[in-house]
Amino acid sequence: MSMWAYAVLTALRDNEASSQASLAAAIGADRTRIIAVLDDLQERKLINRQPDPSDRRSNLLSLTPAGRKTVTAVQKAIQDNENRILAGVSSADRGAFLRVLEYLAHLDDSQIAPRD
């Protein structure tokens, strides 16, 4: 499963019905970037697309029962793999590593842009 497919499934799991625009914003992707991902997930019967009753030009996206099962299974596989990879790392070191990753993930563009 691609990173974008996983991001879509987890975002839809967390927000029951979502427009394509709000989903794209939630996962940090361009709206047009995820069209192929949505097409693939719909073809695999992992998501539903239904017309938005308040805006016929837009679709509401939601997970199917198969989509829920898939995202749960993928999350478990990811967690199992992380546990295997980090088995030799102490709990304290894991915590420090996660804090550094969290810090880096929240840097804004001005903090990471190259300096002249």
Mean pLDDT (whole number) for 60-77: 96
Lowest average pLDDT, out of 6-10, 64-68, 105-109, goes to: 105-109
Q: Which of 51-55, 93-97, 109-113 has the highest mean pLDDT?
A: 93-97
Among the residues of 1-116, which ranges form H helices? 3-14, 20-27, 35-43, 65-85, 91-105, 109-112
Ordered by where they begin, the domains of the chain are 1-108 (1.10.10.10)
3-state secondary structure of 63: strand
Q: Give the pLDDT confidence score for residue 113 in this predicted structure.
A: 79
Q: Which residue has the tokens 């938005």?
A: 52
3-state secondary structure of 17: coil
